[in-house]
């Protein structure tokens, strides 16, 4: 049986978290639509939150009768993170901020893990950035990427950006992003990141071989950010392009890779072509197979359209590549060339 | 609608969720998980409140009990 998609795995993990059970216990739902799984997860959170609402509100009210320090001690020592997480949305945000000054960071991380992100929008205004950064680092120290992802879309992008400032592990940032339900919520966050951070994220994707997650993520961002990332990969160095190509082949990510290439301008396409066309023959053959399989001839046309500006050895390589294509593939290249407004491209490539 | 689906709908009963993709046995299994989570949460709450009350100054226990119970 095929492995569930990344989105399904994420939705199942979050559903299991809502029920406080291992993810293996909900795998039987893996055939449901991702949207249904997400709705189910929020629905279950609502039902569990409402189940003891009256008593929980009583606990929240009672906490006002005792000093913050004593209430925090009782919370950490006796109530535990599950109950405290349910109280987060019932306690006045300002008082929540006072509690945060008393509670230990590991305990707040445990609370955060179990908190419904929909109830924290006011509370974060009463938490210091440093506190949120410490909680984030504690979660990552436990390898918990899912919790932070859960809050994207429920916190202002600037707040997420401030938290990311404290996370040095760029591979962790990619892993967090992988779990975000609605990637469109990442666009304003990515837009806030400086170029140096984008470079560091791309390097982390390469070093940790996170290309599967990385390309899945990049491909869902808005056009501006995809272009920024595609350009960064090309600008980093030739080694990065070659490494990306090998990853596309290793993980069968050609289709996603071609989508990135389609965002490059002419100058970056030429740089990309310089590398693509001089890598080893096996990789080139794999790329051409993938172009044929995914009908990505327009991508090759875009690469080839500036053929006269390519380095002589790259031009020669492109020529021999096209000459070696079987007739059906040449037809695919010619049709795409004509469609994109370069009817003479085949002749130009072949020098005829 | 079948028993498992009825049970699940009764437990969740919020918003339009389609359970058409679930067999009756799967709907029953999911309903079991939700019910178990509710029971677990209720027990956790009771234990936490009992433990907390024992550590509150005696004078405050009465008023706090009134608020919580």
φ/ψ (deg, to 5) at B16 = -85, 95
* CA atoms of A191 and A257, how far apart (whole Å): 21
Interface predicted TM-score of the whole assembly (ipTM), two decimals: 0.84
Chain B, nearest residue to A51 by Cα: B38
* CA atoms of A337 and A347, how far apart (whole Å): 11
User: Best residue in A11, A78, A81, A82 to probe B by mutation, most B CBs within 10 Å?
Assistant: A78
Give the A:B interface size as CB pairs under 8 Å: 102
pLDDT in tens, A248-301: 999 999 999 999 999 999 899 988 988 888 888 888 889 989 998 998 999 989
φ/ψ (deg, to 5) at A152 = -65, 130
How many Cβ atoms are within 10 Å of A220's Cβ, its own excluded?
16
Nearest to B27 by CA among B58, B54, B1, B57: B1
User: Nearest 10 degrees: CA dihedral of A320, A336, A233, A183?
Assistant: -150
**For residue A144, pLDDT beyond 90:** yes
Chain B, nearest residue to A64 by Cα: B64
CA distances from A213 to A7, A101, A163, A267, A282 (A): 11, 36, 21, 27, 25
pLDDT band at A127 (very low <50, low <70, confident <90, very high): very high
Comparing A59-73, A264-278, B43-57, the range with the smallest average pLDDT is B43-57
Q: Are A260 and A232 in contact (CB under 8 A)?
A: no
* Interface check B42 vs A, CB under 8 A: yes
Chain B, nearest residue to A26 by Cα: B30
Angle, vertex CA A145, rays to CA A159 and CA A183, nearest 5: 65
Percent of chain A with pLDDT over 70: 100
User: Best residue in B4, B10, B68, B69 to probe A by mutation, most A CBs within 10 Å?
Assistant: B68
Tokens describing residue A343: 């009817």
**For residue B56, pLDDT beyond 80:** no
* CA atoms of A108 and A128, how far apart (whole Å): 13
**For residue B69, pLDDT beyond 80:** no
* CA atoms of B45 and B28, how far apart (whole Å): 26
Please give the pLDDT value at position B1. Answer: 52
Nearest to A302 by CA among A332, A275, A342, A331: A342
CB contact under 8 A, A65 and B42: no
CB contact under 8 A, A47 and B34: yes
CB contact under 8 A, B45 and A78: no
**Which residues of A have a CB under 8 Å from any CB of B?**
18-21, 25-26, 28-29, 31-33, 36, 39-40, 43-44, 46-48, 51-52, 55-56, 58-59, 61-62, 65-66, 70, 73-75, 77-80, 82-83, 86
Terminal C-alpha separation, chain A: 51
* Interface check B15 vs A, CB under 8 A: yes
Nearest to A213 by CA among A187, A177, A186: A177
What mean pLDDT comes out for the span A161-174?
Answer: 94
Please give the pLDDT value at position B68. Answer: 66
* CA atoms of A29 and A65, how far apart (whole Å): 45
* CA atoms of A31 and A187, how far apart (whole Å): 29
Element (H, E) at A160: helix A157-165
CB contact under 8 A, A44 and B21: no
* Interface check B37 vs A, CB under 8 A: yes
CB contact under 8 A, B22 and A32: yes
Closest in A25, A36, A75 to B33, CB measured = A25
User: Number of H helices and number of E strands within chain A?
Assistant: 23, 0
Chain A, nearest residue to B40 by Cα: A20
């Amino acid at each position: 049986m095929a492995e569930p998609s990344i989105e399904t795995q994420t939705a199942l993990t979050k559903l299991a978290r809502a029920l406080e059970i291992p993810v293996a216990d909900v795998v039987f739902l893996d055939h449901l639509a991702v949207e249904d799984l997400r709705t189910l997860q929020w629905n279950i959170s609502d039902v569990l939150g409402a189940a003891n609402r009256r008593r929980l509100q009583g606990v929240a009210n009672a906490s006002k009768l005792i000093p913050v320090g004593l209430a925090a001690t009782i919370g950490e020592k006796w109530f535990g993170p599950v109950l405290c997480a349910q109280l987060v949305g019932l306690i006045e945000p300002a008082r929540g901020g006072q509690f945060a000054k008393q509670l230990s960071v590991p305990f707040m991380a445990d609370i955060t893990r179990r908190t419904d992100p929909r109830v924290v929008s006011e509370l974060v205004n009463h938490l210091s950035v440093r506190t949120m950064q410490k909680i984030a680092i504690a979660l990552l120290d436990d390898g918990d990427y899912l919790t932070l992802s859960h809050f994207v879309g429920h916190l202002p992008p600037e707040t997420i950006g401030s938290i990311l400032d404290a996370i040095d592990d760029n591979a962790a940032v990619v892993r967090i992003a992988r779990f975000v339900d609605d990637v469109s919520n990442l666009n304003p966050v990515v837009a806030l990141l400086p170029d140096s951070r984008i470079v560091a994220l791309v390097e982390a994707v390469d070093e940790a071989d996170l290309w599967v997650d990385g390309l899945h993520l990049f491909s869902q961002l808005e056009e501006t950010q995809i272009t920024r990332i595609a350009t960064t990969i090309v600008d980093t160095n030739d080694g990065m392009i070659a490494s990306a190509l090998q990853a596309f082949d290793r993980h069968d990510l050609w289709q996603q890779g071609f989508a990135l290439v389609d965002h490059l301008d002419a100058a970056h396409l030429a740089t990309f072509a310089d590398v693509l066309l001089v890598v080893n023959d096996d990789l080139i053959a794999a790329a051409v197979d993938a172009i044929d399989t995914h009908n990505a001839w327009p991508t090759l046309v875009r690469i080839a359209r500036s053929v006269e500006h390519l380095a002589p050895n790259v031009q020669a390589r492109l020529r021999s590549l096209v000459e070696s294509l079987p007739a059906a593939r040449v037809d695919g290249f010619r049709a795409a060339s004509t469609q994109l407004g370069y009817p003479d491209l085949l002749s130009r490539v072949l020098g005829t | 609608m079948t028993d498992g689906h009825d049970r699940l709908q009764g437990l969740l009963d919020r918003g339009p969720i389609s359970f058409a993709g679930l067999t009756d046995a799967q709907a029953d299994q999911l309903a079991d998980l939700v019910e178990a989570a509710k029971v677990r949460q209720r027990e956790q709450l009771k234990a936490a409140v009992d433990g907390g009350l024992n550590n509150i100054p005696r004078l405050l226990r009465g008023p706090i009990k009134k608020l919580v119970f």
